[in-house]
Chains A and B, each alone.
Chain A
Amino acid sequence: MLILNCPYCGVDAEETELAAGGEAHLKRFGPGSSDDEFHDYLFMRENPKGVHFERWRHANGCGKWFHAARCTQTLEVFGTYSAQTTEPPQEIKDAITAKRPGWSWREFS
């Protein structure tokens, strides 16, 4: 059972109170982009065994979207953070580095 702290409510919400929203920090390629860019935006997703970034929504709660950084292998949660960002904040990256030195995920490390 995954337990994530909602950064808006400040509650530790368990999985059944949340809705998974897929991979985090996708950059949208829309009109004007190449076919390859649009294809990758639509279909290509990370599927790591380890550090991963996801979007979640506190569906049975405040209703807000937020981000989570966690390990898909151990279910360890490194931290949650606001949805109003296009990249993980430094303190989240530091928290991951403390546990998983040398990690990388897409363009982040």
Chain B
Amino acid sequence: MSEPISALNHASYEGIAKVEECGLQGMITLRGDLSDKVLAKAVKDATGQKVPGQREAFVDGDTGVCWMSTDELLVLVPYAEVEAKLAAMTNALSGTHALAVNVSDARAVFRVSGANAREVLGKLAPVELSAEAFQPGQIRRSRLAQVAGAFWMDDAETFRIVCFRSAADYAFKLLKVAAQPGSEVGVY
């Protein structure tokens, strides 16, 4: 059996913020009626979290759930458990109009951390990232320069970023340029 590795296999860079590719992350796209009780229980069983409201992200380490749209959630589970969690979820949702798909290998995940993390993201996404506007517990789907990306904050100085695996190299290079030494803007 071949060994699964993530897109950039833990590549990292140190500039005005630290940029790391996080490695493998189990990820399930779940679509359905977010007010459905069966769906809510499936999310709870998989992640221990309740269904997030608009733009909420409840993430603890490599487990959690993020609001992606009015009918879509991103369920995060440890990579090694994704098949089992997906099977349990699919089973629980068998009588419900919902769809759960393993997208782990279609995605790349990055971490940007440090006092200038907001600046690094702010250079790439057309999003208000001041501490008043964006906080841990929120998710924002947007773009990173020319590719789609979603991000949330693990703490006051740490972002986690999800993009398509096919764009991982581009996204990493973007983040590196945005984190170049001496490139502080001083806005946030």
Q: Which residues in A have some Cβ–Cβ distance to B below 8 Å? A: 8-14, 16-17, 60-64
Within 8 A of A (CB), among B125-139: 126-128
Q: Which residues of A contact B148 (CB under 8 A)?
A: 60
Contact with A along B143-187 (1 / 0, CB 8 A): 100001000000000000000000000000000000000000000
B91 contacts chain A at the CB level, 8 A cutoff = no
Residues of chain A contacted by B141 (CB below 8 angstroms): 9, 60-62
Q: How far in angstroms is the closest Cβ of chain B from A19?
A: 11
* B contacts with A: majority SS: strand
Residues of A contacting B89 in the complex (Cβ-Cβ under 8 angstroms)? none
A96 to chain B, nearest CB (A): 26
Q: Is the CB of A11 within 8 A of B140?
A: yes
Chain B interface residues toward A at CB < 8 A: 54-55, 68-70, 72, 126-128, 140-143, 148
Report whether A9 and B55 are in contact in the complex, using a CB–CB cutoff of 8 Å: yes
Chain B nearest CB from A52 CB (Å) reads: 23
Tell me the bound Cα distance from A63 to B67 in angstroms.
Answer: 13
Main SS at interface, chain A: loop
- CB-nearest residue of chain A relative to B150? A61
Give every chain B residue within 8 A of A13 (Cβ-Cβ). Answer: 126, 142
A-B contact list, 25 entries, CB within 8 Å: A8-B70, A9-B54, A9-B69, A9-B141, A10-B54, A10-B55, A11-B55, A13-B126, A13-B142, A14-B126, A16-B143, A17-B126, A17-B142, A17-B143, A60-B141, A60-B142, A60-B143, A60-B148, A61-B141, A61-B142, A62-B69, A62-B72, A63-B69, A64-B69, A64-B70
Q: Which residues of A contact B72 (CB under 8 A)?
A: 62
A16 to B127, CA, bound (A): 11
Residues of A contacting B140 in the complex (Cβ-Cβ under 8 angstroms): 11
Given A9-B55, A9-B141, A60-B148: A16 and B70 interface contact (C-beta under 8 Å): no
Residue picked from B68, B72, B142, B148, most chain A C-beta under 10 Å: B142
A9 to B52, alpha carbons, bound, how many Å?
13
> A residues within 8 A CB of B127?
11
Chain A nearest CB, measured from B124 CB (Å): 12
A-chain residues with CB within 8 Å of residue B128 when the two chains form the complex: 12
Residue of B whose beta carbon sits closest to that of A59: B148
Report A5 CB to chain B, min CB distance, Å: 13
- Find chain A residues with CB under 8 A from B69 CB: 8-9, 62-64
The residue of chain A having its C-beta at the shortest distance from the C-beta of B54 within the complex is: A10
Q: Report Cα–Cα, A8/B141, bound state, in Å.
A: 12
User: Which residues on the A side are within 8 Å of B68 (C-beta)?
Assistant: 62
By the criterion CB–CB under 8 Å, are A62 and B70 in contact? yes
Contacts of A10 in B (CB 8 A): 54-55
Contact among A9, A16, A62 with B126 in the assembled complex (CB-CB below 8 Å): A16
- Residues of B near A11 (CB, < 8 A) are 55, 127, 140
